[in-house]
Structure 1
Amino acid sequence: MTEPDTRPLYERDPAAYRAHLTEGNARQARKRVGVDALICDDHGRVLLVDPTYKPNWDLPGGMAEANEPPLDALRRELTEELGLHLPEDMALVCVDWVPPHGPWDDSVMFIFNAGILTPDQTAALRLADTELGAFEFCTPNQARKRLRPYVWARLQAAITAADAGTVAYLHNGRPVS
């Protein structure tokens, strides 16, 4: 009589192990990933954009594509929509889990601190994509009036975290204690 092979599946049958992982991956939840930038001008105003496909103003950024790292997605979106090329070392300042709403599943939103644009960078901004109808640097009061309440809360948390050199973690715009 032969002894049963007690080695783990990944050693005993690598193909079966890979099939097991593939099946598990297919059943696990997928999350949408959104990326935004906290961008200011030399007067301390925050850059907002007016998307043509939804009713409210927003932070510059967009959705990550499949298997795209969040920071790469942000750099791509800023280039595509505003012709803005920023360095790779933007600091993460906010992560916000957004629950399912309307037709959308839950998502994870990242805000990276892109810093203060130089006057030359500000002057070079342009609408490079039909997804945006306008952009404007806004005071906090202007931003509060233009943004949806949970986006305003996310922006406030990102500004506070950027000033403190930390990262805010939120659930639907609210700090998690």
Structure 2
Amino acid sequence: MNHAEPLYQRDPDAWQRHLAEGNARQPRKRVGADALIFDREHRILLVDPAYKPDWDLPGGMVEANEPPDTAVRRELIEELHLHLPTTPLPLLCIDWVPPHGPWDDSLMLIFDGGTLTATEVSMLSLADGELDDFGFYTADEARKRLRPYVWQRLQGALTARATGHTAYLHDGNSPT
């Protein structure tokens, strides 16, 4: 056997064990996926989680091995009975959130959920007990309901939607 051959060629099983060991030691990040959704009056859909002091964008945490766009679709169905079209959801914002309180760092994503028809809006309802309320709000009303860092993230997503350029943020701010 030629020992100059890479490990993955001379011993595929050893290579897989090597990869598994590396995967087990590498850090993990929490990932959240939210949706920016409008009604026909261009108001923003916000939700009032029962377990948080402030309003938020609809969405939630991504489960292990779940694509973020699948997670946001799952959360919308679970919380509001909202089924978005199966077309790809454009990614508007990636926000790296540094460690804070008991939490490690995380990546928070906002996808473009589009604009709902009046019929779709009328079909929204609280579904799983995680939310106390939901509603559509102007940007100024949203700013007053959201925590400052969520508002900054939302501003990045709104700018990205207007410009067609995905926002990359560090804790709600441009890293530059």
TM-score for both structures, normalised by structure 2: 0.96
Q: Which runs of no fewer than 5 residues in structure 2 stay unpaired?
A: none
Are residue 105 (structure 1) and residue 78 (structure 2) matched?
A: no
Partner of 1:46: 44
Where does structure 1 lack aligned partners over 5 or more consecutive residues?
A: none
Within a 5 Å distance, the mapping from 1:160-171 to structure 2 comes to: 160-171=159-170
* Aligned amino acid, residue 119 of structure 1: A
RMSD in angstroms over aligned alpha carbons?
1.1
Counterparts of 2:152 and 2:121, CA distance in 1: 25
- SS at the partner of 1:30? coil
TM-score using structure 1 length: 0.96
1:137 aligns with 136
Which residue type is aligned with residue 134 of structure 2? F
Alignment of 1:74-113 (within 5 A): 74-88=72-86, 89-113=88-112
1:21 aligns with 2:19: yes
Name the aligned partner's letter for residue 96 of structure 2: W
In the other structure, the counterpart of 2:172 is 173
Tell me the number of residue pairs that the alignment of Structure 1 and Structure 2 aligns: 175
Q: Deviations over 1:118-146 (max 9, x none)?
A: 00001100001110000010111111111
- Deviation string for 1:67-113 (max 9, x for gaps)? 00000001000000000000232211101011111111111111001
The residue correspondences of 1:35-74 to structure 2 (distance < 5 A) are 35-74=33-72
Max Rg structure: 1
> 1:14: how far off?
1.2
Q: Which moved more, 1:14-23 or 1:67-76?
A: 14-23
Structure 1 position 63, deviation (Å): 0.4
Letter paired with 2:166: V
The Cα offsets for residues 22-73 of structure 1, whole Å up to 9 and x where unpaired, read as: 1111111101110000001111110000000111100000001000000000
| Alignment-mate amino acid for residue 90 of structure 2 | A
In 2: Cα distance, 1:94 partner to 1:4 partner? 48
Structure 1 stretches of 4+ moved >4 Å: none
* Identical-residue share of aligned pairs (%): 63
Q: CA deviation at 1:150?
A: 0.5
The residue aligned with 2:150 is 151
AA of the residue aligned to 1:99:
P
> Which range moves more in the overlay, 81-90 or 68-77?
81-90
